[in-house]
Structure 1
Amino acid sequence: MPGGEPKTIITDQDAAMSRAISIAFPTTFHRLCIWHITSKFSVKLPHSAYKEYWGEFQKAIWDTGNKDEFDAKWNIVVTKAGLTDHPWLSSMFDLRESWVPAYARHFFAAGMSSSQRAECSHGFFKQYKSRRNSLMDFIIRFERALSHQRQKC
């Protein structure tokens, strides 16, 4: 890469990607996409616990100024919810240095904590590509989509 390794890379929790980044870019901070992680709470937690405590988890994640404050708030919520032995929550707590904003403040990421924009772009492009399409078919479809987007705005 021109200019050396990136300072930060944001990805989902793909194990192969994590290994590759640590080998190819040993000094790069590999940040996990907070959107991917927080979107799993509703699936991984028992429904009643999610419904009752999701707001408190959000406050612990987003409204803490430092590591100690996050750890304390997280432990309070987990204890109140009766989820101290929950394997997924425990694993997320173990990974907190790579996704919780209070732990990543010292790494420059231009305000980004999610790969959601890239996911949105992938979803947009996916609509216009097909194995049967030629490059020209893709360009024509994409031009139509852009035109439609401009008219909507």
Structure 2
Amino acid sequence: MARLVLQNVIFSDACRKDLRETRNLRRIARYADKALAMSDDEFKRNYRVTKALFHYLYQELKPLMQAPKRRSDISTKYKILVALSFYATGSYQRLVGCSLGTPMSQQSVSRALRDVTAALNDPTILHKYIKFPQTVPERNLLKEGFMNNFAFLE
């Protein structure tokens, strides 16, 4: 009899844990869907990028980020949304994890930021979008343009 009660307790604890994980996964899915269901203006206010740019960025970063291995892992799309929210606000990680209904702890936000930032720093992304002047004439041309644009006096 005691063995049966113990099995029921263990089983009910496992069911509660699975239920919590499922609830969190649903919240995450709702958040991503909710974010993508925003109007273009609202999305841009929250993330400082357009939806089209987000989708493009997602397609660029997806191959560079580790795909979720477990059912409870955070999806790549959600990590990018959280990272963009953090980059856009410059707020604390804990606040980003609690904003807009996101059920993420500070540690999860930190891991998402690390993953997204590492993907953005990948040489294929860096060399594709960030270009530094390599020669002295190129640097002087940039300096001159900056001085003219912002009315610096020599």
TM over 0.5: no
- TM-score in terms of structure 2 length: 0.29
Q: Point out which structure has higher relative CO (alpha carbons under 8 A, 6+ apart).
A: 1
Higher strand share: 1
Higher helix share: 2
